[in-house]
Structure 1
């Protein structure tokens, strides 16, 4: 297993075979080891162990035993680990490595011995490691590579012997016979002299893929011819020379060297070399190299004339060299030039013009304010141009500066000061495919169609360019655009609703941090190819726009850091079907049962949600900062059941109460009247001799017979009739009680078929009964006007029983019976007694 496999395992991209349980491995001495990757990777780092635990599983592939105590290694130290391919023994205080120490791990490909004070390697120490590819002996007190028993390591690819005490560049010749050997790292040693005899094996090897690192040494002298005929893939010489004079002489002594990639200069923090010699890099003229990286950090008298010996390079990078100007020769095959962290006061366009081979030019991280006085001319092969982070200011941009670059496809002017665009700002750049202006103040984009001629532009980044979009056609002409980033700008009025409709090939749109409170769905009309949408850091509350038919191709949606409380179910149901990633992080989501549908959706679609740890509830208080996907939706189900049950119970209760009130409305009214309290009839004289309870349909008999005989008789009696004596404007119930029952000495009840059918008659009779029961001074006189069946009589509460138990009068039309009827009735009313 190689390093790529380790990374894949770490990221969970490969499955792990199942062998045994995955509990921490007992160490037997000191603290327990930890299983990092199940059945694969065990760490015993810093466990204060003095031996390898014998119970480490034999199937593990990676063992980190660093920062423990193993002074002596022999064939009894390690258990049988036939599958182990990586062993880290960093700083284990190892002093001695005996023969066959690694006999029980013959498949080892990486061995790290960093930081051990090794005093002796026996000749057969590495005899079992015939598959070893990487050996790290950094900081092991090594004084010579010849002290390492490397002969058995025929598959060795990398040897890192940095930070040791090696004084001579003496490499065992057999090392260069290793077929796959490709890296020799001797950084930070004490090499001061390199002789011709030291490099014989290096010169004779057919291996052309070797990287040699001599950085941070103290080289003061190289014997001329020492590198003659040597071919290296890479040579690192950063802070490798003890004095500036040594740089000049040593580079010249390395004449005849061929190297694909040369890195020369100082590390950050290293002492800057002060030199007044104008030719201290002239030795480079004697080299052959493809790529060169100059990280000089020196103050040189030569200034910008550092390219004299670089004319044959295909790639040049000059970093932190304090260049204020450059003198550029005619390069023969230069493809890429990078000028980074220098001191230009203006862009050296004139100096670089007419370079017909350069395809990539980067002028970045310039320190002072930079201006653009002259255009680039006749750079016919230039396709990639970056002038970023240089405090650049251009007053009339950008046709004059770049119109002579017909092949330019990539232009990066980001992180500068200000660009003032002219009318059609990029005339002559019709082939441009990528334009990056982010974090540079740019005028006119939001007002004029300054980009209309860029019909082949596929990528446009104008984030944080201080742009106010006033007009709807500001992006017209960009018919090929696939990626648009406009975050950190402003859309006036409803400009955003119409601005993007011309971009029908757009696949990615970023309008984050634009202060948007609302996005109308028609904003995305015609964007049928849009796959990625970012609207984070705005003030959006509703996401109805995501359901627009034109957004059917969306795969990723970023709407984090807005004001979204919830998403309605009808919107969730209409989200794009191709959606694979949705960012809802840092929204004030309300985790209440009212929004249970949305929360349930987030749980069911958890695989689509990105940055789930920041999708948190912000309300109510008891749920604040809880993950939305961990909210208990079952609680809402139980609450819904309880609420439905209670609601149904209340509805039924109200229904039955209504039914009860309707059925017993008169009794309830009477009860209310009784609760208010009434005076007893004994407390005063009654206004009426009798209150007549009868049906309105019997009113003819009452008026013609009853009233005529009683009120017009001798002595006359005063009757209370509801049709005549009830007070107008007063409720019927109150009239019955106040005028009828309480103000009358007797009650005359006229029984007929109509009486039985009348609700008011029933109420009046029942009230008369109850008053008789409470007060005992209201006599009830029953007149049977016509025969009524017993079952009908029972419909009136207490009537049948009252008639059965009390004497009543029965009306008959014949004169004899009529005379007797009136005599008895008058007597009953006057006496207050029920007589037959």
Structure 2
């Protein structure tokens, strides 16, 4: 009987502890109405008497004046045209996506030494007009997104490497890919940059051609996404110089075809590549396609574990082509093709 009572007591305590933890978890996710002068938003309390503030979708024309306790700000889907007022000095996250910001003036991010994420997607910013000093105080920034700012394929965009060189802590860069996109010597200063997203799926991209020197100064890249970029040609060995590269996505560039695979995969054995995505690189119309041995021969001595060849109107594989696949391969997907016996 005593053992049963002790067991019951233990179970009751455990249940009470679980309820307390659950309630604490729910209380942390509660959002309450809050006001910054005349602007009504919703706020969430986080540890150390700090606030997360969501002012998205309120048709705001200006950035509210936030209290010093605010460390996270969502101002997306508003009508803001310029960054006129300063943000709290301890802010870590700013989302200004889907506004009407046309240009950055002066020092819009003055004193934001702790900011880690800045989202400027889907505005009307011309990054060619960025100037040295605009990012000079963003010492801690790890993620920056400019996706969806190029409005048409003929827009001449210059990526000024001396401007981006100021972002020495940057790990992830999401940017539109204009036809003349280059990443100059200044990017060598970004020694922590690992992820580069140029995809036309999440923004605008019309690269047309990817030269072998395009990523010359981005030697620490781990992840590259050039999907849906209207790419017609990728020069031989473009990716083979990137020793740390693990994930490469060239999907949805319909003009590439399987004939481009030898160029794409040249010297990938010298990288750390684990995942290759080449979905939809063949035209959806016309005759079915065949993977030949020469298309895959550069893969044999790589460490790739996952390959995706989906949506390519693939009908056949040349006999023994599969023998050229890497020994560490655990997954290969031919989904949404039309393979025949």
TM-score of the pair, normalised by structure 2: 0.75
Distance 2:280 2:291 in 1: 18
Q: CA offsets, 1:526-584, max 9 Å, x none?
A: xxxxxxxxxxxxxxxxxxxxxxxxxxxxxxxxxxxxxxxxxxxxxxxxxxxxxxxxxxx
- Partner in structure 2 of residue 521 of structure 1: none
- Partner in structure 1 of residue 290 of structure 2: 278
* Deviation, structure 1 residue 280: 5.4
- Partner in structure 2 of residue 77 of structure 1: 85
261, 275, 286: which is aligned to 1:261? 275
Distance 1:275 1:91 in 2: 42
* Deviation, structure 1 residue 87: 0.3
Q: CA offsets, 1:577-610, max 9 Å, x none?
A: xxxxxxxxxxxxxxxxxxxxxxxxxxxxxxxxxx
- Partner in structure 2 of residue 212 of structure 1: 224
292, 295, 308: which is aligned to 1:294? 308
- Partner in structure 1 of residue 13 of structure 2: none
- Partner in structure 1 of residue 194 of structure 2: 182
Contact 1:261 1:289 (8 Å CA) reproduced: no
* Deviation, structure 1 residue 281: 7.0
Q: CA offsets, 1:18-43, max 9 Å, x none?
A: xxxx7611353xx5122144642111
- Partner in structure 1 of residue 4 of structure 2: none
Larger radius of gyration: 1
45, 52, 61: which is aligned to 1:41? 52
- Partner in structure 2 of residue 25 of structure 1: 35
Contact 1:99 1:127 (8 Å CA) reproduced: no
Distance 2:158 2:323 in 1: 38
251, 257, 262: which is aligned to 1:247? 257
44, 67, 71: which is aligned to 1:57? 67
1:134 aligns with 2:149: no
212, 228, 249: which is aligned to 1:236? 249
* Deviation, structure 1 residue 178: 2.5
* Deviation, structure 1 residue 61: 1.2
Contact 2:257 2:283 (8 Å CA) reproduced: no
Contact 2:290 2:318 (8 Å CA) reproduced: no
1:150 aligns with 2:150: no
Contact 2:82 2:102 (8 Å CA) reproduced: yes
Contact 2:99 2:123 (8 Å CA) reproduced: yes
Q: CA offsets, 1:497-526, max 9 Å, x none?
A: xxxxxxxxxxxxxxxxxxxxxxxxxxxxxx
307, 322, 330: which is aligned to 2:322? 307
* Deviation, structure 1 residue 145: 6.2
Contact 1:66 1:92 (8 Å CA) reproduced: yes
Q: What is the CA RMSD across the aligned residues, in angstroms?
A: 2.9
Q: How does 1:532-611 map to 2 (within 5 A)?
A: none
- Partner in structure 2 of residue 110 of structure 1: 117
Contact 1:82 1:106 (8 Å CA) reproduced: yes
Contact 2:33 2:41 (8 Å CA) reproduced: no
Distance 1:109 1:276 in 2: 47
* Deviation, structure 1 residue 152: 1.2
Q: How does 1:198-597 map to 2 (within 5 A)?
A: 198-202=214-218, 205=219, 207=220, 210-231=222-243, 232-239=245-252, 241-243=253-255, 246-254=256-264, 255-257=266-268, 258=271, 259-266=273-280, 272=284, 274-279=286-291, 282-287=294-299, 288-303=302-317, 307-320=322-335, 321-325=337-341
Q: Secondary structure at the match of 2:213?
A: helix
**Which of the pair has the greater relative contact order for Cα pairs under 8 Å at 6+ separation?**
2
Q: CA offsets, 1:772-820, max 9 Å, x none?
A: xxxxxxxxxxxxxxxxxxxxxxxxxxxxxxxxxxxxxxxxxxxxxxxxx
Distance change in 2, residues 1:132/1:44 (3 Å) = same
Distance change in 2, residues 1:281/1:12 (3 Å) = farther
Q: Secondary structure at the match of 1:200?
A: coil
Distance change in 2, residues 1:177/1:260 (3 Å) = farther
Q: Secondary structure at the match of 1:171?
A: coil
Q: Secondary structure at the match of 1:197?
A: coil
Distance change in 2, residues 1:113/1:12 (3 Å) = farther
Contact 2:33 2:43 (8 Å CA) reproduced: yes
- Partner in structure 1 of residue 10 of structure 2: none
Contact 2:291 2:317 (8 Å CA) reproduced: no
Q: Aligned residue pairs: how many?
A: 293
Q: Secondary structure at the match of 1:24?
A: strand
Contact 2:296 2:324 (8 Å CA) reproduced: yes
Q: CA offsets, 1:316-362, max 9 Å, x none?
A: 3214133455xxxxxxxxxxxxxxxxxxxxxxxxxxxxxxxxxxxxx
* Deviation, structure 1 residue 177: 4.1
Distance change in 2, residues 1:105/1:201 (3 Å) = closer
* Deviation, structure 1 residue 275: 4.5
Q: Secondary structure at the match of 2:276?
A: strand
- Partner in structure 2 of residue 791 of structure 1: none
* Deviation, structure 1 residue 315: 2.2
Q: CA offsets, 1:635-670, max 9 Å, x none?
A: xxxxxxxxxxxxxxxxxxxxxxxxxxxxxxxxxxxx
Contact 2:292 2:317 (8 Å CA) reproduced: no
Q: CA offsets, 1:27-65, max 9 Å, x none?
A: 53xx512214464211111222222222x2111111111
190, 211, 215: which is aligned to 1:195? 211
Distance 1:49 1:124 in 2: 27
* Deviation, structure 1 residue 271: 6.4
Q: Which segments of 5 or more consecutive residues in structure 1 lack a partner in the other structure?
A: 1-10, 17-21, 326-836
Could you list the structure 1 runs, at least 4 aligned residues long, displaced by more than 6 angstroms after superposition.
none
TM-score of the pair, normalised by structure 1: 0.33
Contact 2:182 2:214 (8 Å CA) reproduced: yes
